[in-house]
A and B are shown apart, each in its own frame.
Chain A
Amino acid sequence: MAKRITIDPITRIEGHLRIDVEVDNNAVSNAWASCTMWRGIENILRGRDPRDAWLFTQRFCGVCTTVHAMASVRAVEDALKLEVPLNAQYIRNLILIAHALHDHIVHFYQLSALDWVDILQIPKADPAATAKLAESLSPWTRNSRNEFKAAQDRVNTVASSGQLGIFMNGYWGHPAMRLSPEVNLLAFSHYVQALEYQRKALQVVGILGGKTPHIQNLTVGGVANAIDLDSTSALGMAGLEMIRVLLDEVVQFINQVYFVDVCALAAMYPEWFKIGKGVTNYLAVPDLPLDSAGTAYDLPGGTIMNGNIAGVHPFKTASDKEFRDAVSEDVTHAYYQGGKALHPWVGETEPAFTGWDGEQKYSWVKSPRFNGQPMQVGPLAQVLIGYAQGHLLTRKYTDLAIGKIGAVGGLRVTPDMLHSTLGRHAARAIRASMLAELAQKHLQLLIDNIAKGDYTVHNQPVFSGHEVEGVGTHEAPRGTLSHWIVIKDEKIKNYQAVVPSTWNASPRDRSGAHGPYEASLLHTPLARPEEPLEVLRTVHSFDPCMACACHTFDPSGRQIAKVKVL
């Protein structure tokens, strides 16, 4: 008989993602993804000045502040048909890239590596053997025996204190954990180092954005950075040089550590190329514009339907008409009023909470659909869409990853195997290396443009009395983000944000089609259903971020995910 397992974070306000799976013969036979929190933040924006919207939207999420700020100014610019000066495009692109590099590093090491790495095996590792193994994989200079010994000592201290601290919640000793003690130590050591390099990436955001966590330099029509090569307070040579130094260090970490670790992990868990496939319709939007009007981009976008890579369909622009016309949100299984799937410009966010019912309504997440179809978004979508179009940079790092995985484990990876849990991790690492190269390119583009004497950073927005609509998109770390705005009389008439995790975590739609998280969990084998580590591996591979919107400390104490086996 099928067993039902619920994984629910149970926090009073923060409660976000809940996963329910039915398990039959130690494999997932049915799945539901739901969000347990009502937000409705978009309603706050109605009636406000469109030029201020980005300040509010950057507070949607504490982790993705910059991405919501950027999508918002782009939405207003699209509505006003306002071009963005070159300097502003490059500065924005650098901020977006630096944020994404920070985000990808944090995702892999701090948020998902411990699904694969068993901390409690580390005391058994030989640091010298670990160093030897690490040196065979990468030229990284911090792979010495001493580095590994220090990391091991850290774990020993924690383990011997009997207080596992941050490691209290792991499924240590789970049969699905299969790395050698040395590989566990190697990964943990990089987990510690990752903290330094993600911080350097954030410093770049801070230098360009004025400050973090909330950047101050955006404005509808451009950026507010004053460019003065001789100044230390405005953006000048000193600041640009500091950015170069920071980026060099981050790029080296991405290429010599993150990229290598993901390839090694993939080689050691090859069965995960066959698990977690799910929805194979993919969506990505073009990003990193190279001109003022937004006609050329460094990251390609488009769609792939039913896993047909050869049948890729490209988008020409970031607010491509095909994209604008195809998006709608269905609320058949979401706690909202209304029946018809609505386009975001006429979208509604009126709550109608009825309690979790897998047959009826069960989530606060709407079901965004593209021409009625569920779509997977994120680095995997972007990499597959770029690869299929023959995009050179995507090909370069995808082929490098395939070669590296083969060199470590002898496994021959084909692009088709990327429709999987490991594929999502590999694609994120591929994307990180692509972005690392592009960071240096866009810094040089900015310097060269300033050297030509172009100091323009802003075009003045002009409002007409007419009602206008706009969409601002960004290919964010978790995938396609779109903000949809309707402006009338210089005020916001309607505002909807269709975020990456809405695409991926969407519940079923009116036709019963699963959202990507749900579909990816089907058929997942579980070694111990009461410890559903395999479910976490697949869900984490999407880099879920449901609602960092609200943070409240709950002094009554929190629990590990409540895993209920019925």
Chain B
Amino acid sequence: MKKILIGGIGNILLGDDGVGPYVARLLKAHFEFEDGVEVIDLGTPALDLIDQLTEKDAVILIDSVTTDCTEADAGAVVLYRKADIMRHRPAVRMDPHSPALVDALLSAELFGVAPADVLLVGIAGASYEAGCSLSKPVKASLEEAIAEVLNELDYLGVGYQWRKPPAELDIWWDNFDVEHKTEHNNSAAGHLEMCRSSQTAVTRQ
């Protein structure tokens, strides 16, 4: 049994930065995975990410990315492999809690616990203003991001299947109706109606 982490990273309170947790929850609602696969909304874990990376065979992370590109690129899905990520310098040690992915991966490597395979599915954001909704271009790329996660699972030889019917979609922070219409194409995620799911009430006693 392979140990696989699928983790959505980002802050749900800052617009498109919430796309990672959003995708993680869509995956949970719509797919069943074979044993050993964990799907987690990681929030913004900083160095706690080291624990999540530890002793996994492969890790797939979904996160917003800032590119050098213009606004026109918002919604673009960009893939990075472990070597691409580790080429970067670790974050500054000025503010000790900002270090995240690069530092966590470099640390895991030092401690000898880093996963062999890492894929970062990056989604270029349009807006990181305080707010709990994704921008239209980012919403439009959710399916592509999910398709990339599924492709990676195929590559890793890890099984999954659609849940029919889907489980409850728990994106409790997004109060607004999602206007996005699902495109029915041939991609792996093409038939999902995930984005039109009704919103789930916040768990309350």
Q: Which residues of A are in contact with B by a Cβ distance under 8 Å?
A: 7-14, 16-19, 39-41, 43-44, 49, 51-52, 55-56, 59-63, 65, 106-107, 110-112, 114-115, 154, 158, 165-166, 168-169, 192, 195, 199, 202, 212-214, 216, 219-222, 224, 458, 536, 539-540, 543-546, 548-561
B65 within 8 A of A: yes
Q: Contact: B88 with A557, CB < 8 Å? A: yes
Given A16-B95, A17-B95, residue A214 in contact with residue B41 (CB < 8 A)? yes
Q: Please indicate the chain B residues that have their CB under 8 angstroms from the CB of A192 in the complex.
A: 111
Which segment of B8-16, B150-158, B190-198 sits at the interface? B8-16
By beta carbon, the residue of chain B nearest A460 is B205
- Other A-B pairs, 4, CB within 8 Å; known A17-B94, A552-B128: A14-B91, A61-B97, A112-B96, A544-B97
**Interface 1/0 per residue, B163-205 and A, CB below 8 Å:** 0000000001100000000000000000000000000001111
Q: Which of B42-59 contact A (CB under 8 A)?
A: 42-48, 50-51, 54
By beta carbon, the residue of chain B nearest A51 is B204
The 17 sampled A-B contact pairs (Cβ below 8 Å) are A8-B94, A9-B95, A111-B97, A115-B93, A219-B204, A220-B205, A458-B205, A540-B96, A549-B44, A551-B63, A551-B98, A552-B66, A553-B64, A553-B85, A554-B65, A557-B88, A560-B89
Q: Contact: B130 with A44, CB < 8 Å? A: yes
Q: Please indicate the chain A residues that have their CB under 8 angstroms from the CB of B13 in the complex.
A: 41, 44, 56, 59-60, 549
Q: Contact: A12 with B66, CB < 8 Å? A: yes
Q: Contact: B44 with A550, CB < 8 Å? A: yes
Query: CB within 8 A of B90: which of A7, A14, A166, A556?
Result: A166
Q: Please indicate the chain A residues that have their CB under 8 angstroms from the CB of B128 in the complex.
A: 13, 550, 552
Q: Contact: B92 with A559, CB < 8 Å? A: yes
Q: Contact: B96 with A544, CB < 8 Å? A: yes
Q: Which residues of B are in contact with A by a Cβ distance under 8 Å?
A: 9-14, 17, 41-48, 50-51, 54, 63-68, 78, 80, 84-98, 100-103, 106-107, 109-112, 120, 122, 125, 128, 130-132, 172-173, 202-205
Q: Contact: B51 with A199, CB < 8 Å? A: yes
Q: Contact: B89 with A62, CB < 8 Å? A: no
Q: Contact: B130 with A62, CB < 8 Å? A: no
Query: CB within 8 A of A11: which of B91, B107, B131?
Result: B91
Q: Contact: A551 with B94, CB < 8 Å? A: no
Q: Contact: A165 with B66, CB < 8 Å? A: no
Q: Contact: A216 with B94, CB < 8 Å? A: no
Query: CB within 8 A of B106: which of A39, A166, A543?
Result: A166
Q: Contact: B94 with A7, CB < 8 Å? A: yes
A545 to B204, CA, bound (A): 30
A560 to B132, CA, bound (A): 31
